[in-house]
Structure 1
Amino acid sequence: MSAFSTSNPLGDGNVIPTAYRDGYAKATLVDSGLAGRYVAATLLGDPQADAVVAELSRHDAGQSQEWIKQAIEVGPSAIQDAPESVRAFFADAEQVPPWFDADQVLPGCRAFHRNSEMFIGAFVAAVLIEGFSTLISQSFTITGRLVDQGVRRLKQNNRQIVEIFLPGGLDRRGDGWKLSVRIRLVHARIRLLLSRAEEWEEAAWGVPLSAAHMAYATAAFSGLLLKRAAMLGVTLSVEERESFMMIWRYAGHLMGVPEDLLFDSEDSALHLHRVGTLCEPPPTLESIVLANGLINSAPIVADITELGARRRLSRKIYRISRAMIGDDLADQLNYPKMNTTGTLAVLRLTNGAERILSQLVPAFGARRRASKFQTMLTVSLYSEEGIRYRLPGHVHAEKDAHL
């Protein structure tokens, strides 16, 4: 059953948050039904996860953390002493939707790792930037989870991508599955904390980390990422593209995206992204801070320590990012002015030449694949203790620096 009425999603008396009113009017000219569902979703969080987090908040933090860890690592049978609603949530998370086919994800996994550098480049230089140009920036700016701790959060994002695109990563015991369910609970916890924070303006922005923004992000990380990666020279077969989208569709499902806002194809993901972008207001000061912070964090994530080298890489990323997202958005985000003529053409040529060389010289191709995988590990957050299951205890990240 859909989370929203498809005929009149705003007919129950809900009032559109003020920041979305102008954009909603424009979006209805493109797709009134989807625009209505999108703005209605700005008033919705994740009812199941929100209820579980509210229940867990009534128990000792250490006990709650252990329940989450055991439920994700072992299963709901391992938490017989937990409240029934908590056990039911994790049991439901294990139910695989009928549209997911584990055999069909392998082409997408291979395609991602064959082009991992270009995908991560497109993700950081364009897709994340475009995502944080929306009002989701308010949530991350208030908490500081992408301002004060930008490097760590970027590495966490990268790790989830690495894990869901490993063969078996979305299996019940795979780390991609575990991280996606954990992220859903972390979002619910932050949503609860933000809803109580004085800084949050619900009448203007709706619900923190809303269902609309979760759907928008998943559409961007899938369909838009394919589009931006193609601008860098990545070419995939139809089978690989469909497989890539299935992987992200299942990850979105695990992270709690409502079914009526969860894409079923590359085209529907891009359409949702387009309508959502129209609904969103122009980038705010918070968006500007996040976008520029992400770009300037990238050299640190890449473990570049020399100041001059960091500055050169940041400038290179600014140039690539401007070329991909366009001058209008780049100017709104206060990017430095620069000429991007030929920027993407050079990258496409370089990527194409490397692809041909890898085919002609297998030893070179093997070395490049090993190098790409090592790079992926470098820019991702891994620790010896494995996945951490502690939920945020404070709305401001500096009080949860070890999370």
Structure 2
Amino acid sequence: MSVGEVAADVSAATQPEGIPSDYRAGFVAACRIDERLAQRYVAHTMIGDPLADQVIAFLSTLPPDQGQAMIRRGIETGAAGLADAPRVLRDFFAASEAVPAWFDAGATLPGCRAFHRHSQMFLGAFVAAVLIEGFSTLISKSFSITGRMVDQGVRRLKQNNRHVVEIFLPGGLERDGDGWALSVRIRLMHARIRQLLNVSEEWDRAAWGTPLSSAHIAYATAVFSGLLLKRVGMLGVTLTEEERQSFMMVWRYAGHLMGVAPDLLFEDEAGALRLCEIGGMCEPPPDFESQILANGLINSAPIVAGITEPRARRKLVRKIYGVSRGLIGDARADALGYPPRGRVGYLGAVRLKNRFDQMLWRMSPALERRSRAAQFQQMLEVSFYGQEGIDYRIAAHLHAEKDRLHTEKGRPHSETGGPS
């Protein structure tokens, strides 16, 4: 069924019986606020990414090494290097290389500079808030079943960090940039996991819709952009209007490359926040899988930062919980099974320090340059950079544990990557 057919079916229904059962109560409530967007969102919970799904369906008929070689050739050389490949593959990369009329590479530079000026806070809010808020949706089912956050959480977190770093490097989203390559790779990896989940007995399509659905990829992109700007603002980071618009353009184009459907791809910060609001209302309350992912993510963060000494790790975990609770609110924190609110006001302390730092930087540009250099080094340390560059292998098995066993036997398979 096409996107248009699903949307028409949902729009025509006076009752939400035609949509996945876990979305029905939230859909009714969301319709009272914005009926058209709620209908569009739930329609997309029932579809994936048709173009990428067709590519993966074809690649699955080939030996793994041959499929990997085609992905590598397509990402590194593009449609021009696939003259002998089937049309479905050539069409996919031709569409990926087509730059939308709204994208202006030069206009992304203020956003890139703002990100690197405050990269520590952006990555902090990314881990302590927006990743967790993304996992509060039914997308948690996909990650819980595959085990790709529970079994390999540290590696996954570093991969997410690397993607964010690369798209905010000047030129990172150009055709030969690593941000472009990672975004397209993420789209294909999502399609592969979607394929595996679709044929798994563990996936309840009637209740949850399509795994890694079009709605969830759009929601994640909106969370990582508009909601991230809101969260770093709560940490005391202030950006100009030009920087905010530029930041949103970076994520809008990254979302386009990751396959976000045009009718759910935001145009600006307000549009992204609206999608977060309405999409969040359509989603059911966080469940056990969301709790596992959110708490596992927080407990993985110190290891990603290189802190392994038990006492220091516990101290940092307490701080992250405190900041996270302050950012996402008590209601969501309690629903996710966070420890009770402590007596220390971690969020207020972070906000005060950031505002003091920004005042110092205005007085001394040299201090800002040194801070930016130090933050960039820290950012690289918490990101995953393999010795062989970008890995183009796709998962052979639904469960991460089986892929890890193959890795140990000398037949490695990659996990999925990115904002899901």
The residue aligned with 2:10 is 10
Alignment counterpart, residue 336 of structure 1, candidates 335, 339, 351:
339
Decide which of 277, 281, 285 is 2:288's aligned counterpart: 285
Give matches, 1:115-264, under 5 Å: 115-264=118-267
In structure 2, do the counterparts of structure 1 residues 34 and 229 end up closer, same or farther at CA, with 3 Å as the change threshold?
same
Q: Shift in Å at residue 3 of structure 1?
A: 4.2
- In structure 1, which of residues 68, 71, 90 is the aligned counterpart of residue 71 of structure 2? 68
**CA distance in structure 1 between the partners assigned to 2:40 and 2:321 by the alignment:** 34
Residue 96 of structure 1 aligns to a residue whose secondary structure is: coil
> Equivalent residue of 1:10, what SS?
helix
Contact residue 319 and residue 340 of structure 1 kept, 8 A: no
Letter in 2 for 1:167: P
How far, CA to CA, are the matches of 1:238 and 1:364 in structure 2? Answer: 24
Measure how far apart 1:154 and its partner are.
Answer: 0.5
Amino acid at match of 2:247: F
Aligned-pair CA distance for 1:28:
0.2
Aligned to 1:318: 321
TM-superposition CA deviations, 1:264-298 (whole Å, max 9, x none)? 01001000000001000000100000000000000
Kept in 1, the 8 Å contact 2:6–2:43? The answer is no
Opposite residue 10 of structure 2, the aligned amino acid is L
Shift of 1:103: 1.0
- Residues 136 and 213 in structure 1, CA contact (< 8 A), matched pair in contact too: yes
DSSP-derived class of the 2:289 partner: helix
CA separation of 1:7/1:195 partners in 2, compared to 1, >3 Å: closer, same or farther? closer
CA distances 1:243-279 after superposition (whole Å, capped 9, x unpaired): 0000000000000010000000100100000000100
Range with bigger deviation, 240-249 or 349-358: 349-358
What secondary structure is seen at the aligned counterpart in 2 of 1:374?
A: helix
Q: 1:4 to 1:230 in 2, by over 3 A?
A: farther
Q: CA deviation at 1:76?
A: 1.6
Pairs aligned (count): 402
Matches of 2:11 and 2:133 in 1, distance apart? 30
Confirm or deny that 1:106 pairs with 2:109.
Answer: yes
User: Aligned partners of 2:8 and 2:37: how far apart in 1?
Assistant: 10
Distance in structure 1 (CA, Å) of the matches to 2:235 and 2:137: 24
> Runs of 5+ in structure 2 lacking a partner?
405-411, 415-420
Residue 27 (1) aligns with residue 18 (2): no
2:94 aligns with 91
Structure-to-structure mapping, 1:254-403, within 5 angstroms: 254-339=257-342, 342-401=345-404, 402=412, 403=414
Letter in 2 for 1:249: R
SS across alignment from 2:189:
helix
2:322–2:347 CA contact under 8 A, matched in 1: no
In structure 2, relative to structure 1, the CA distance for the partners of 1:6 and 1:147 (3 Å cut) is closer
**Structure 2 contact 319–346 (Cα < 8 Å) conserved:** no
1:12 Cα deviation from its structure 2 partner: 7.4
Q: Give CA-to-partner distance per residue, 1:131-178, whole Å, 9 cap, x none.
A: 101100000000011010000001100000000000000000000000
Query: 1:348-380: per-residue Cα shift (whole Å, max 9, x none)?
Result: 110111122233334432221111001100111
Residue 100 of structure 2 is aligned to residue 82 of structure 1: no
| Amino acid of the structure 2 residue aligned with 1:142 | I
TM-score (norm 1): 0.97
What percentage of residue pairs aligned between the two structures are identical?
61
Once the two structures are TM-superposed, the CA of residue 85 in structure 1 deviates from its matched residue by 1.1
Give CA deviations for 1:203-229 in whole Å, capped at 9, x if unaligned: 000000000000100000000000000
Q: CA RMSD in A?
A: 1.6
CA distance in 2, matches of 1:386, 1:245: 27
**Match of residue 45, structure 1, among 42, 45, 48:** 48
* Separation (CA, whole Å) in 2 of partners of 1:327 and 1:140: 24
Given that residues 194 and 200 in structure 1 are in contact (C-alpha distance below 8 angstroms), is that contact kept between their aligned partners in structure 2?
yes
Name 2:409's counterpart in structure 1: none
Distance in 2 (CA, whole Å) between partners of 1:198 and 1:340 is 46
Per the TM alignment, residue 93 of structure 1 is displaced from its structure 2 partner at its CA by 0.6
Deviation digits for residues 288-335 of structure 1 (CA, Å, limit 9, x no counterpart): 000000000000000112111111101100000001111101000110
Please state how far the C-alpha of 1:347 moved relative to its aligned partner.
1.2
